[in-house]
């Protein structure tokens, strides 16, 4: 068997250089929604996320927090749909997912990214075969806001 190994660097929301059903394994560690270090990246990918953060500073509404979280996940959902498109039937996507604990608007909370991402994946058509959990040092609790 001949295999072509390629590393592509770019936006995984659209991968036109990769044919449908042509990849056997994808390994990714996306930015985690609601982890402070990724806020600017999500805002750069989608200006609506940045606008929502600005609105939160003004209105402080719980609905705005939920809208930010949802918009971040909708941006990742584009990646999951593209991943599904390029994987062969029976292909494997290994996704490093981190939950977020963070104070937003003075309220400490958990943002269960793993649950939201698994929900997106199953909705698209992926079959979840296992979850392997590892605590990551950079995903420390943010209690200061």
The pTM score is 0.85
Query: Token match 């809208």: residue?
Result: 67
pLDDT tens-digit map of 112-144: 999 999 999 999 999 988 766 555 554 454 444
* DSSP string over 95-144: E----EEEEETTEEEEE-HHHHHHHHHHHHT-----------TTS--B--
pLDDT tens-digit map of 45-65: 999 999 999 999 999 999 999
Q: Which two structure tokens, joined as six digits, stand for 47?
A: 């200006």
Quote the pLDDT of residue 133.
57
CA gap 60, 41 in Å, rounded: 22
């Amino acid at each position: 068997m001949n295999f072509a190994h390629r590393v592509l660097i770019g936006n995984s929301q659209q991968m036109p250089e990769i044919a449908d059903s042509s990849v056997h394994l994808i390994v990714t560690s996306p930015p985690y929604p609601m982890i402070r270090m990724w806020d600017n990246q999500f805002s750069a990918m989608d200006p609506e996320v940045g606008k929502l953060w600005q609105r939160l500073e003004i209105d402080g509404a719980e609905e705005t927090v939920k809208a930010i979280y949802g918009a971040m996940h909708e941006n990742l959902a584009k990646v999951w749909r593209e991943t599904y498109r390029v994987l062969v039937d029976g292909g494997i996507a290994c996704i490093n997912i981190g939950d977020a604990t963070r104070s937003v608007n003075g309220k400490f909370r958990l943002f269960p990214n793993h649950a939201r991402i698994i929900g997106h994946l199953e909705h698209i058509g992926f079959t979840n075969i296992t979850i392997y959990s590892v605590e990551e040092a950079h995903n420390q609790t943010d209690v200061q806001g």
